[in-house]
Amino acid sequence: MVDGTAEDGSGWSVANFPLVSGVSDKPVLAVDVDGVISLFGFDGPLDQVPGRFHLIDGVAHCIAEGVGPRLLRLVDEFEMIWATGWEDRANDHLPHLLGLADDLPTLTFDGRARFGTAHWKLDALEEFAMGRPLAWIDDSLDDSCHNWADRRDAPTLLVPTESAVGLTDAHVDAILVWGRELELRAP
């Protein structure tokens, strides 16, 4: 199921608004949150954490230093969406914290989300992408994700992150290069 918020604030889904995903001819960029934007598993003293802590829904999240500007390098080149167990809660705080101008479309997973894994995202990703090229940034990519990517007919780029480091400049560079190669290959 794919949900989002229309400009008038009403909810939409692919099921009842089939043109939503088709309005963009940009490649999809699916972005996980935990382990990509909100970091965990890092060592060291508290004054050397790799980001700043923000209280979100009563939970302290270490938002990676510089991750907002990195996403801003990508947001105009792709149709960026949230692909996270946070589901629509991702839009409650993150666009403001990260400096994104707008909320992002949000995948929902009908209760299948499991922290530390990612295979439960595949159906929703496929439904949203509708056969388009797709890049996916996630810290929990496993064999099922790689097998799915290999089977897709459209170009698919998996971008694994380390949960204690998150999205890096090198990831962003690689995603941009991939996107430009797609443009060069376009008829």
* Site residues for Mg ion per CB under 5 A: 32, 34-35, 139-140
Helices and strands in the chain, H and E counts: 5, 10
Q: Sign of the CA dihedral 91, 133, 180, 21?
A: negative
Q: 141 or 182: whose CB is closer to Mg ion? A: 141
Pair 91, 5: CB distance under 8 Å: yes
State how far the alpha carbon of 77 is from the alpha carbons of 1, 50, 100, 180, in Å: 24, 27, 14, 9
Question: How many other CB atoms are there within 10 angstroms of residue 171's CB atom?
Answer: 19
State how far the alpha carbon of 79 is from the alpha carbons of 70, 93, 108, 110, 128, in Å: 15, 20, 17, 23, 11
How far apart are CB 61 and Mg ion at their closest, in Å? 12
How far apart are CB 48 and Mg ion at their closest, in Å? 22
- Select from 112, 130, 131 the least CA-distant residue to 121: 112
Residue nearest to Mg ion (CB): 35
How far apart are CB 9 and Mg ion at their closest, in Å? 28
How far apart are CB 137 and Mg ion at their closest, in Å? 9
φ/ψ (deg, to 5) at 176: -65, -40
How far apart are CB 116 and Mg ion at their closest, in Å? 7
Q: 34 or 87: whose CB is closer to Mg ion? A: 34
Q: 140 or 156: whose CB is closer to Mg ion? A: 140
